[in-house]
Amino acid sequence: MKCPLCNSVDTGKVGTNQYYCWNCLLEFTMDGPNEFTAYYVDEEGTLISLAEMEQGNELLEETILS
């Protein structure tokens, strides 16, 4: 399985349709042939969607700039 983010083949399966990339250090799920969801794994092992992280950063930037 290639990582959909960095195309590395250095990935491992961690669950059903769940994989971990040792190159970019992210976990991802394959939602379809060309669809995936990527997650950051925090210190406690909690998965945080990269989409959620991006939304959080936008909100933080808006707060700082306002």
**7-66 confidence digits (pLDDT tens):** 999 999 999 889 999 999 999 999 888 899 999 888 898 888 888 777 665 544 444 444
* Range list of β-strands (E), the chain: 11-15, 18-21, 26-32, 35-41, 47-49
pLDDT of residue 61: 44
pLDDT of residue 27: 94
- Quick check: is 2 in a domain? no
Placement of tokens 């936008």 in the chain: 58
pLDDT of residue 60: 40
- Quick check: is 50 in a domain? yes
Tokens of residue 16, six digits: 């059903």
pLDDT of residue 12: 96
Placement of tokens 């995936």 in the chain: 36
- Quick check: is 46 in a domain? yes
Model confidence at 5: pLDDT above 80: yes
45, 50, 52, 57 alpha-carbon torsion, rounded to 10°: 110
d(CA 27, CA 13): 9
Q: How many domains does the chain have?
A: 1
- Quick check: is 60 in a domain? yes
- Quick check: is 5 in a domain? no
Domain ranges, residue 60: 11-65
